[in-house]
Amino acid sequence: MYSILSVATTITLLTSLFVCFKWGRVECRGTIPTSLLTFCAILFTSGLDVGLIMFPLVEFPVYATEAEYGFANPLAIEFGFWGFLVWAFYFLTTFYFCVVEPKVQLFEIKAVKLVNNLIIIATCAFTGFLFLDSVSDYVEGISAVQKFGLVALIVLFAVYSSSHIRYVKLLSVASTLLFVLLGLLLALASGASVGGFLLTASGIGEYFSNIHHFFMPVSDYHGWYLFWWFSWSIMIGQFVARFVPPMATWQLLTALLIIPSIALALWFTTLYYYFVNEIAVGPVLNLAMVGVGILFVANSLDSLIRLYTDNLGLGIKRLGLATYLLAHWALIYGLVLLYQFTPMQIEWVGLVVIGLYAAIYVLLLRNSKQLYATS
């Protein structure tokens, strides 16, 4: 399984470089273009979820003690699992849906469309399950009934937010601003000096000096992360492509690699400062982290729900608001429970996505005339 993942990761990254070299000056423009700031906010909050907020403080001790991560410090490892290189996945699919898909319409083929939307629905539910699985580590004393009830409410809120595209945009921008505010509050509460913060941040440099280690899984856990990124990649590209402001392909790649990575670097550095200096996160800040995490869950869910309902024609115009809310809430929450009570795993979804990648590559080769017409 990891051999397949390694080959898929390598081909995807090489394809991203080829696209930038071959069509670097081609203009990318979404059907609903936004400002660069709004686009990055939508991309950041749709393409990331609660794990960004809740995982690092739990993962740093693991990266500090387990041998397979010994080639770099825990901050560099964390950044490598979330930042820079892996955003090339989103670049490739965003470019495809901006520039290539309108010419070849491969995702309108019935089999491709069906598989794609099943992937979207399964990954959407995994986001809810991930929160359900991790919330006990951050909300002390929360009962099972409260956990399941909270997730049910988040899913309902996300379904309602997905009912209009302006809600999706507003929630993305608001979540991004609150995320920045949370980072500032944590940094101030840590008591770190500017020099101390910059010294801690310098540890990220070990990621770039060891970037070759991140091309392939360095551990089973890293493999899980890469499957997770694959499972997100096609649908996030499909969703955010509609919001791309007019820019050249090379500018799109640069924006996707750098802008989210800056935010991630600042966030991880702040949390890493807490870890290395053994500073406890106070209850108020912990609650704030949970609150922002909930918003990220809702952002991820509403983006994906909006995508598959548009793809399948199952929106409000067809179903009406009440039926729309009930049907999609029941579908997503039911699948969250399926992840909870069955052996279903995100790795399975990632493998299906890799298979879909392979099918698209084959279909593109058959449609090479339309593909090269892009240039």
* Residue-level pLDDT at 43: 76
Interval 192-206 mean pLDDT: 93
Q: Alpha helix locations (H) across 162-248?
A: 165-190, 194-201, 205-209, 220-240
Interval 162-186 mean pLDDT: 83
Interval 108-112 mean pLDDT: 92
CA–CA distance, 373 with 173 (Å, rounded to integer): 36
Kindly indicate the confidence band of residue 77, based on its pLDDT and cuts at 50, 70 and 90: very high
Domains within the chain, CATH numbers bracketed: 28-372 (1.20.1740)
Kindly indicate the confidence band of residue 300, based on its pLDDT and cuts at 50, 70 and 90: confident
Interval 79-83 mean pLDDT: 91
* Residue-level pLDDT at 374: 52
Neighbours of 67 (CB within 10 A): 7
* Residue-level pLDDT at 323: 94
Q: Is the pTM of this model over 0.85?
A: yes
Which residue type is seen at 282? Answer: G
The per-residue pLDDT for range 240-298, each reduced to its tens digit, is 898 899 999 999 999 889 988 988 999 999 999 999 999 988 888 888 888 888 888 88
C-beta of residue 43 within 8 angstroms of C-beta of residue 90: yes
* Residue-level pLDDT at 236: 85
Q: Is the pLDDT of residue 192 over 80?
A: yes
Compute CA 326 distance to the chain's CA centroid, rounded to the nearest angstrom: 26
CA–CA distance, 263 with 37 (Å, rounded to integer): 13
Question: By C-alpha distance, which of 35, 84, 99 is closest to 248?
Answer: 99
Tell me what the pLDDT averaged over the chain comes to. Answer: 88
The per-residue pLDDT for range 308-322, each reduced to its tens digit, is 998 889 888 889 999
